[in-house]
Structure 1
Amino acid sequence: MTSQRGRAGLSRRGLLYGGGALAAVTALGGGALWGSSAFAEAQAAAGPRFKLSTAAVKYIREKPVHHTTVLQSFAFDNPHKHIYVLQVVGDGSKGDMCLTKINYSGTKLGYMFLRGFGHGVGMGVEPVGADAYIWTETDSNPSSGYGRAITRFKFVNKKTLTYGSSSIPVHRPVKGSTSNQPSVDMLNKRLVLRHRVAGVARYRVYDLADAKAGKYGAPLYEFPQVGVKSGEVFQGFCSLGDYVYQMVGTSYTGESGSNPPSKRGNTYLSSIDMRTGALVERRWTQAAYSLDFREPEGMAVQLTSKPRLFMGFASGRSGARKISLYYKPS
C-alpha cells in the first residue's frame, strides 16, 4: 500500500501539468478529497509520463570513460550540459567507485574516486551555481558491496573521497535498510530513494530541500518495487514527475546461451505511478541491440524542452568497457 504525506495548496505548475489530476481524484473517491491534504498530494507533478513503447534514439555510442569496468549508473547536469557516470572499481566487493564527468558528446572532462561508497546502482546530480553536487550511496556493506546510507558531495576533479571522512555527510533515511540508492528529479526538486527492508526492495520519495538538510520524516510517497519478475537483474531507475522508471536485464551470452545476440536481449523497462504504487507499463526494448557485449546499466532523465528518458548500455571487451546512451523522447 502506498503512503502519502499531503501538501497544502494547488500550484500553477500543478495546474499546467495536472491533466490527470481530476482522474486521480475520481479514482481516489471524488469530492470527498476536495480541500484535503490527500487531494493536494494527488495533483500531477511537472513532467510527462514517458511511453515505453516509443522507439529509442541513439545519443552516445561506445565511448570510453575514466575506468575500465561497465557503467553502473549515470545522471545529467542539465544547466551545464554534463553527464556523470559511475563505475565500480575491481569486483565491487569493497564498495569503491569511479565517477567520470563527460560532456554531451561523450568527451571526458574529469573524474573522482569514491572509496567505500557502494555499487552505484542509482545516482543524482544537483546543480548549484557553477558547481555540481552528486548524490550517491555510501557506507558500503562488507558482505555485499552495496551502500547502507546515502550522501551528497561536490564534484571536484581528481579528488578521492573515502567513507568515514568527516567531510562526507551520511544520511540514513530508513533505519536498518540496505542497498540504498538515490535518484534526483530536478524539475520537481525531489529525491527518490530505492532501498531494501528485510531484503525487499521499496521506494521512498522526499522533498529535495528536506533531504539536503537531513530531514527525513514522513515521505511524500512510499511504496514497494513492482514490475521486476523473479530472477530478473535490476539495472537502474530514475524518476520524473509522479513516475519511477526501472530497467532490468543482463549481458549477452553466446548463441547457445539463455540471452543470445540474435534474440536482441532481455532488457525490459517499466514505470510505476508513485501516487498509487501501481505498475503502469512494462516493455521489452531492443535499444542498442547491435552492441557486442550489451549489458543494460542505468537510467536517467535529460531535461530539455521535451524531456528524454535515457537508458545506459555497456559494451566492449573486459578491461576496456565503453558506454552507450539511448533515449525515448516524450
Structure 2
Amino acid sequence: MGTQVTSRINLAVPSARWLWQKSTLKEPTVLQSFAFDDANKHLYVLQLTRGGGDAGDLCLNKLDHQGKRLGHMYLKGFGHGVSLGIQRDADDGSTWIWTEADAEGGYGQGVARFHFANGAVRTSADVKVRRPVPDSVNNQPSVCMASKRIAVRYRDASDEPRYRVWDLDAFVARDYDNPIADFAQTGAHPDPKIPFQGYALHRDHIYQLAGTAYHAKANPAAKRGNAYVSSLDITTGKRAQGERTEAGYSLGFREPEGIAVRGGTTPRVYLGFASGEQGARRFSIFVKKEGES
C-alpha cells in the first residue's frame, strides 16, 4: 500500500453523551460491542445471553439512533461479541452483519456474515464460517466502509493478539493471501493486565478500548475509573495515540464495553459503557466530539 496515511481521529477531545443509561436491549446483560449502519440510521449491539458466555451465545439488537429497540435475533455458539462489523452491499444495498462464529471456550474461532432477521435464532451451522488466518483462534471482525476494508483480531500459536487487515472485496471472495497489514496488538492500556474491551477499524487506524468496572480498591469510582482509548497506525503497527477517558464517570458500575467509528465528513469515535445492577444492566454511549464536554 502507499505511504500516505489518512488522518487519524483525535482521541484527546472531550466526550459527550450520545445515549444515556438505556435499558432497551433484549437481554439484561452488558453490551459487548456495537456498530453503525448509517445508511439506514440503525445501531447494532451485541450482548451475551444470560448464562450463555461459556457456549458463546449472543443476542444481536437492532436499535434506532435514540436507542429504541427495533428487533433482535439470537446467535447460538457464535462467540463473545468482542467486535462487530457492518457492511453495505454495493449491489443490492442490503446490510451484512459480521461477527465471530464457531465458538470454542466462549470465543469464535472464525468469522461469518449474515443478514439481520428479526426474531430468528441461528447457530454457527447456519452460516458459512470463514477461517482467514490458519491455525489462529479467537477471531473477531471489524469493517470500515470508508476504505472498504475488514480487520480480524486473532490470537496466534503463541496466544498473542494480532490484527490482520484485508481489502473487503477480496475477503468476501475468500482471497486471504494478500492482506494489507498484519501486526501485533499493542498499546491498548498502560497496564497490560487491564482487559481489552473492543476495537474498530477506520481507514488507516484501529481504535481500541480497555478498562474494568469500578472496584472499591482496584478501580475506585472516586478516581473516575481506568478506561483507556487508543489508536494504532495499520501502516506501521505502532501506537499513534492513547488517552485515559473519564466519559460516564458518574455511572454506577461503569464498565467500558465496545468502541465504534462513524465515518462521513467528520469521522468520530464512540465509546460504550455498561452500568446498573447485575441482571438489570443499562448501556450508555459517548462520542468524542470537538467543542463539547
Under TM normalisation by the shorter chain, which class is it? over 0.9
Greater helix fraction, Structure 1 or Structure 2: 1
Give the superposition deviation at 1:320.
1.1
2:34 pairs, out of 74, 78, 85, with 74
Give the superposition deviation at 1:260.
1.0
**Contact 2:271/2:286, CA 8 A, preserved across alignment:** yes
Give the superposition deviation at 1:138.
0.3
Mapped to 1, the partners of 2:287 and 2:201 lie a distance apart of 14
Aligned residues: 283
1:289 pairs, out of 234, 243, 249, with 249
Mapped to 1, the partners of 2:264 and 2:233 lie a distance apart of 22
**Contact 2:61/2:71, CA 8 A, preserved across alignment:** yes
Give the superposition deviation at 1:44.
2.7
Q: Deviations over 1:284-307 (max 9, x none)?
A: 000011110110001101124311
Aligned residue in 1 for 2:72: 111
Q: Secondary structure at the match of 2:78?
A: coil
Aligned residue in 1 for 2:192: 230
Give the superposition deviation at 1:238.
0.5
| Structure 2 residue 199 is matched with structure 1 residue 242 | no
**Contact 2:52/2:58, CA 8 A, preserved across alignment:** no
Q: Deviations over 1:162-198 (max 9, x none)?
A: 1123xx1111011111111000011111001100002
1:251 pairs, out of 190, 200, 213, with 213
Identity %: 44
Q: Secondary structure at the match of 1:327?
A: strand
2:54 pairs, out of 85, 88, 93, with 93
Aligned residue in 2 for 1:146: 107
| Structure 2 residue 86 is matched with structure 1 residue 135 | no
Residue segments in structure 1 that go unaligned for 5+ positions in a row: 1-5, 7-40
Mapped to 2, the partners of 1:42 and 1:103 lie a distance apart of 38
Q: Larger Rg: 1 or 2?
A: 1
The alignment's TM-score, normalised by the length of structure 2, stands at 0.94
| Structure 2 residue 15 is matched with structure 1 residue 53 | no
The alignment's TM-score, normalised by the length of structure 1, stands at 0.83
2:165 pairs, out of 190, 195, 205, with 205
Greater strand fraction, Structure 1 or Structure 2: 2
Mapped to 2, the partners of 1:146 and 1:54 lie a distance apart of 33
Mapped to 2, the partners of 1:204 and 1:221 lie a distance apart of 6
Q: Secondary structure at the match of 2:222?
A: helix
Give the superposition deviation at 1:104.
0.4
Give the superposition deviation at 1:131.
3.0
Aligned residue in 2 for 1:313: 273
Residue segments in structure 2 that go unaligned for 5+ positions in a row: none
1:180 pairs, out of 118, 135, 139, with 139
Q: Secondary structure at the match of 1:321?
A: strand
| Structure 2 residue 261 is matched with structure 1 residue 329 | no
Mapped to 1, the partners of 2:114 and 2:199 lie a distance apart of 21
**Contact 1:192/1:205, CA 8 A, preserved across alignment:** yes
